[in-house]
Amino acid sequence: MVLLTEQWDDVIARLDGARGQELRGLITQIGGAEGTGAVIRITQLLVSELPPEHPVRRALAEDDLYVGAPTDWAALRDLLVVVARTPDAEPVAGQDDASAPAGTVDETPAGILAEVTARLLRAPALTEQDVRLRGADPADPGLLRLDRPDGGQQWPSFQFAADGGPLSVVRTVNTLLGAETDPLGVADWWLGANPWLDGRPSDLIGDVPDEVVLRAARAVIEEV
């Protein structure tokens, strides 16, 4: 949360209008009766919307995310309100999740990871049989393969041509980013917002030159 005050301008620039408005509304609730729910929802929002390489997103991924420590939440809220240039107004409508009673949302790092994983698994995907019918090897290290809670696996469908096999640019980026060892992280790169491309990479395949997508992927490697 403290890092958010330092990175505010960059963070808000990466959110669309609705998400930015939601974040501003949540800030006004910190330190109040619904403060716990607001902090949880802010965390979920930032994990969902920021690219994996962003400093705030990296901080949220640290193991000590929810280590207990004395925190003056009211003072932190006031600082964020100033940084965000947000008046101390009523919460933005449509924020039922933020006001959920404490304990109804799993705010642990494992819980947040589970939520991100569930989001990635909701993306259109192929079965192992589908992949073979496309003429591809399901064990290809250049293909993203996500494990499901039921023990099965699925292959995000954006990796394949509409009626054909794997796309060359996708296999190259997957290999570059280490899809074989970090499938969730690479899937999140493809399916999350990307500042380089001003959109989600998976949505832009074929609409922007492959080299531009590759440069965006290399930027992640260079920043790490």
Does residue 132 surpass a pLDDT of 90?
Answer: yes
- pLDDT above 90 covers a percentage of the chain that reads 31
Q: Which two three-digit tokens encode residue 47?
A: 């994990």
pTM passes above 0.75:
no
pLDDT in the model for residue 88: 41
Of residues 65 and 47, more confidence is placed in 47
pLDDT in the model for residue 213: 94
At 210, give phi and psi (nearest 5°). Answer: -55, -35
pLDDT digits (tens, 9 = 90+) for 116-131: 788 888 889 999 999 9
Average pLDDT over the chain, rounded to an integer? 78
Lowest mean pLDDT among 24-38, 56-70, 176-190: 56-70
- Contacts of 69-77 with CB under 8 Å at 24 or more apart are 73/30, 73/31, 73/35, 74/30, 74/31, 76/1, 76/2, 76/5, 76/30, 76/31, 77/27, 77/28, 77/30, 77/31
**Tally of CB atoms within 10 A around 69:** 6
pLDDT range class, residue 78, cuts 50, 70, 90: low
